[in-house]
Amino acid sequence: MIRLLQDTLLYAFQTLLHNGLWLLLGITVACAIKVYLDADKLKAVLLKKSNVSIPASVAFGAFTPFCACGTMAIIVSMLTTALPWGPIMTFLTSSPLMSPDQFIMLSGIISPKFAIALTLSSIIIGLASGYITNMLEKKTKLLENQARFGNNSEKACDCTAQSCCDLSKTNPKVILEASSECCSTKVSAGRIERIANKFKLKEFISVFVEIGVKQVLIYFSLFAAVGYLINRFIPSSLILSLFGAKNIFAVPLAAILGLPLYVSGASSIPIIDSLMKGGASGGVLLAFMITGPGTSAGAIAGICTIMKKRAVLIYISFLLIGAILLGYLYNFLLILGI
């Protein structure tokens, strides 16, 4: 048992070293976007014209580093500003599937082809779900009264320590913004501190620790260990029989298995790599990576706090059906050699 633990930890450490450059690059991109990009202003610009709201929501969702849990604050703001359900559903379905940092890591660790396939999948699912939802909203009553929040404006921080702490309890990440935007102390005259404040170095370091160390590195190491155990105890023949391209039910099986599991796109890469080496087809892994990040128990619990039953079921249906169709399509393209 001790030897197994040692081997597992050694494998996880070696995996981190081997993929360290791609992880560091991906984490840095994610932190830079969070610190230096004003998400609210970007959203306002992209969604200014209603005729481009759905493609704009895809762009905002697929190319910003929000996980399924991170989308909650954005979705709440969308609901409270009375946006149509189309762009809301577009953002909600596309955001957990892809981000710039995840694209970098997938390209370097798995393959650029798989990263492109997942990116295109997030765009396709986002656009399809948005336009279908827009049609449902116009022609049916399925989405009437499905938002749990009204048009209440968000409370702004009043620059007191207590208000910032209260706000951070609702969204812990806000405390980083609160500390720099409205709760900061007077900047000293020191040159180093002026430079640090100008380039938001303290915020960047805090976000790097929060995202890079506490999330990506920990979960990446954990899933690397899981990947090692999969390779050691599960025969490749079993993986191939369940998830290989020759099993016609492999894609829907993977999509369904991904529904309740917590799958964080970047940190789950070691499992994807292990399954791929074990013989799982690309379409199967694509289906798993579509449902996993967006329909885990935690993500659904969060979504249920802002959306009612019919809207949640519609959301899950978009991801499940999209995962199955795109998984089969990707397998077909791989067979053709594309």
CA distance 48 to 10: 51
CA distance 254 to 276: 13
The model's pLDDT over 49-107, given as tens digits with 9 standing for 90+, comes to: 546 778 888 877 777 666 555 555 566 556 655 568 888 888 888 887 777 778 888 88
Q: Is the pTM of this model over 0.85?
A: no
Choose among 226, 177, 227, 235: nearest CA to 206: 177
Q: Of 50-54, 232-236, 325-329, which one has max mean pLDDT?
A: 325-329
pLDDT at 86: 84
| 54 φψ region: left (φ > 0), alpha (ψ -120 to 50), beta (else) | alpha
Averaged pLDDT of the chain:
74
- pLDDT grade for 179, boundaries at 50, 70 and 90: very low
pLDDT at 275: 77
Tokens matching residue 290 = 């579509």
How distant, in Å, are the alpha carbons of 72, 275, 286, 331 from that of 247? 37, 15, 15, 11
More confidently predicted of 146 and 212: 146
Domain range summary for the chain, segments of one domain joined by +:
2-336
Choose among 114, 97, 109, 98: nearest CA to 22: 109
CA distance 124 to 75: 20
Least confident of 39-43, 140-144, 169-173: 169-173
311-316 contact pairs (CB < 8 A, 24+): 311/85, 311/89, 311/143, 311/146, 311/147, 314/89, 314/133, 314/136, 314/142, 314/143, 315/89, 315/92, 315/93, 315/129, 316/259
More confidently predicted of 10 and 25: 10
How distant, in Å, are the alpha carbons of 23, 27, 104, 173, 205 from that of 213? 11, 9, 18, 15, 11
Q: Of 75-79, 111-115, 319-323, which one has max mean pLDDT?
A: 319-323
Contact 145, 171 (CB under 8 A): no
pLDDT at 318: 95
Examine the pLDDT at 166 and tell me if it is beyond 50: no
CA distance 317 to 313: 6
Residue 10's identity, in one-letter code, is L
CA distance 37 to 58: 17
- pLDDT grade for 327, boundaries at 50, 70 and 90: very high
More confidently predicted of 220 and 76: 220
Angle between helices 2-18 and 218-233 (to 10 degrees): 120
Tokens matching residue 252 = 């829907």
pLDDT at 155: 42
